[in-house]
Amino acid sequence: AFSQLITQKLMASNAMRLFGISDVDRLWEVNMENVTVLDNLRCVQLLSSKLRDKSTTTKDFMLNADRLMAVLAEEALSMIPSVKQKQIQTPTGVFGGLEDTGSTEKLCVVSIVRSGDILQEAVRKLSPGIKVGKILIQRDEESPDKRAVLYYKKLPKDISDCFVLLVDPMLATGGSLICATEVLVENGVKPEQILFVNLFSVEEGLENIQKKFPGMRVLTLSIDEYMNESKYIVPGVGDFGDRYYGTT
């Protein structure tokens, strides 16, 4: 029954990709209310295809990942609560637009080190002076369930007063994200104050984090099909950090 379900999902998601069916039509059990999938931009499809290609060199992986993250960071910064609707007076009329009414004082970007640092830098370029937190978590690749292990954390003292962009390019089992969110919650941050910003996710991981933190919002570029026996995302990109930093 399980392999039948996976096959159905594979067929459904491939068909959706081919025919351009929207997120609301997805058959998955993930609650899409709190999940935004930014997969309808052609530039996202172009740049992420380069990352997915196993023949892409480290240099091209880095260049394309940085370009992709710049797009993702722009979108993330448009989703923070201080961005409000505004009537804009143009030289020739009125436009219903948006405005960021907040300051970086109440905003924080927290990376799940190491790969999250890349996305953190993309956010910092667009929002200089933004508060920064670091949580070093590594998957234990020797453990059967790829358990997430916490090594280090450093967060701004007033993080409980901030809206938090929690950044990591990959969401597989969800173990690393759950561990990082627990650290934030221990420091007074409510899941509703967090936007998890991500490139590649998978349904199982999303379901796992939603069970623990139903109020947390997610911005991702893709919900991929499933995980292989080593808990790598399929089709995915392989090991993101290793490919970006050339440590394969």
Nearest to ligand URA of 163, 196 (CB atom): 196
- Contact by Cβ (8 Å): 52, 68: no
- Can you tell me which of 47, 159, 172, 189 binds ligand URA, judged by CB under 6 A? 172
Residues 163-222 that bind ligand PRP (CB under 6 A): 168-177, 205
In DSSP notation, 40-62 reads --HHHHHHHHHHH-TT--HHHHH
Answer with the entry of ligand URA, ligand PRP, none that 76 interacts with (C-beta below 5 to 8 A by kind). none
Residue 2's contacts (CB-CB under 8 Å, 6 or more residues apart) are none
**Shortest gap between Cβ of 235 and ligand URA (angstroms)?**
10
In the chain, which ranges are E strands? Answer: 35-37, 83-89, 94-100, 107-113, 131-139, 148-154, 163-167, 194-202, 217-224, 226-227, 233-234
Q: x/- string (CB under 6 A) for ligand URA, residues 90-119?
A: ------------------------------
**Quick one: tokens of 115?**
């790969």
Nearest to ligand PRP of 100, 225 (CB atom): 225
Q: Which stretch binds ligand URA (CB under 6 A): 15-23, 53-61, 90-98, 233-241?
A: 233-241
Residues that bind ligand URA (CB under 6 A): 170, 172, 232-233, 236, 239-241
